[in-house]
């Protein structure tokens, strides 16, 4: 499934095999992007767009409403199950160990729930199953309070007891562990620098189901293409990344969905990078 020019380069490199995943891999588990109409949220008489709700500004003004929106979204994510593409990445990590790295834009937590390790999964936009104190108290990233239900009706408000669980011991609000639209990537919480460094040494970068709207994936693809390293793009429709891959000496665009392509692709990559029978 991979051309010889790509396969030979992967075999010759000792660098990490880096996967970068976006909404496309979760779509096949039934999770909407929340960027379309399904992301609208009504507060009082006003409809808010996701780009307005997922902000530090909105949280400062109406923390309980922003939490309610996240708990609803998290409920949608928790009711979804990992698919064949997620499972293939778990098998690949088991086989590749430290040569595997997964960078994901998805906050639905499906990669971790499928079984990928937290140590080798950089969740560059966070994970809606976790929260942080607004003041930065330790531990920085924590699981959501267990008292909060995993399913959440759209109209349901938080009661006082639930709101109390969303306070840190210091008295400050806990916030969703998710990168907001009016915030920037950083290293301590979102592994921004580590993800970019991985692109500088990757034996291959495999981009699955992301259309290229955000800056870090764009930089990673450009870095790998500029090095002349293998850039493999999996998507049912052409994207800016598939165009970069097709213009690159060792790029390849595999047209199809994540569940159609990733299981076979990870087998091929395992044979090339790790040797047959390993």
**Which range in 32-40, 130-138, 221-229, 264-272 contacts Zn ion by CB under 5 A?**
130-138
Q: Which is nearer to Zn ion, 60 or 170 (CB)?
A: 170
The verdict on 172 binding Zn ion (CB under 5 A) reads: yes
Among 42, 61, 94, 135, binds Zn ion (CB under 5 A): 135
Q: What is the phi/psi pair of residue 21, to 5°?
A: -120, 150
Q: d(Cα 202, Cα 230) in Å, to the nearest integer?
A: 9
For position 141 contacting Zn ion by CB under 5 A, the verdict is: no
Helix axes 258-274, 84-96, angle to 10 degrees: 10
Residue 168 sits in the site that holds Zn ion (CB under 5 A) = yes
CA torsion 39→41→46→52, rounded to 10°?
Answer: -60
**Which DSSP category does 163 fall into?**
H
Identify which of residues 150 and 172 has a Cβ nearer to Zn ion in the complex.
Answer: 172
User: Among 137, 163, 189, 243, which residue interacts with Zn ion (rule: CB under 5 A)?
Assistant: 137
145 binds Zn ion (CB under 5 A): no
CA distance 274 to 38: 42
| 140 lines the binding site for Zn ion (CB under 5 A) | no
Contact 131, 142 (CB under 8 A): yes
Q: How far is the CB of 33 from Zn ion (least distance, A)?
A: 32
Which stretch, 125-133, 219-227, 234-242, 246-254, contacts Zn ion (CB under 5 A)? 125-133
Using the rule CB under 5 A, is 148 a contact of Zn ion?
no
Stretch of residues binding Zn ion (CB under 5 A), selected from 165-173, 175-183, 212-220, 244-252:
165-173
DSSP character string of 219-238:
HHHHHHHHHT--EEEEESS-
Q: Tell me the sheet residues that pair with 41.
A: 48
Catalytic residue positions, numbered: 125
CA dihedral defined by 12, 15, 17, 18, rounded to 10 degrees? -140
> Which two tokens mark 224?
């790998």
Candidates 124, 133, 199, 203; binder of Zn ion (CB under 5 A) is: 133
Compute the least distance from the CB of residue 67 to Zn ion, in Å.
Answer: 16
**Site for Zn ion, rule CB under 5 A:** 133, 135, 137, 168, 170, 172
């Amino acid at each position: 499934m991979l051309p010889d020019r790509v396969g030979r380069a992967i075999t010759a490199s000792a660098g990490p095999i880096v996967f970068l995943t976006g909404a496309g891999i979760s779509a096949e588990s039934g999770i909407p992007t929340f960027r379309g109409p399904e992301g609208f949220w009504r507060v009082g008489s006003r409809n808010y767009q996701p780009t307005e709700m997922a902000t530090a500004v909105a949280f400062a003004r109406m923390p309980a409403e922003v939490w309610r929106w996240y708990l609803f979204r998290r409920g949608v994510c928790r009711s979804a199950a990992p698919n064949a593409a997620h499972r293939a990445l778990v098998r690949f990590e088991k086989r590749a160990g430290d040569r595997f790295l997964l960078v994901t834009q998805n906050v639905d937590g499906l990669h971790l729930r499928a079984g990928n390790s937290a140590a080798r999964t950089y969740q560059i936009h966070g994970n809606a199953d976790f929260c942080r104190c607004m003041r930065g108290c330790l531990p920085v990233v924590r699981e959501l309070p267990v008292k909060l239900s995993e399913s959440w009706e759209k109209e349901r408000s938080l009661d006082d007891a639930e709101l109390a669980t969303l306070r840190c011991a210091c008295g400050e609000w806990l916030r969703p562990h998710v990168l907001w639209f009016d915030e920037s990537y950083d290293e301590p919480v979102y592994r921004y620098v580590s993800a970019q460094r991985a692109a500088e040494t990757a034996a291959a970068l495999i981009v699955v189901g992301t259309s290229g709207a955000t800056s870090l994936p764009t930089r990673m693809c450009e870095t790998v293409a500029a090095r002349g390293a293998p850039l493999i793009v999996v998507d049912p429709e052409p994207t800016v990344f598939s165009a970069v891959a097709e213009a690159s000496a060792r790029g390849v665009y595999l047209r199809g969905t994540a569940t159609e392509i990733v299981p076979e692709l990870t087998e091929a990559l395992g044979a090339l990078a790790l040797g047959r029978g390993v």
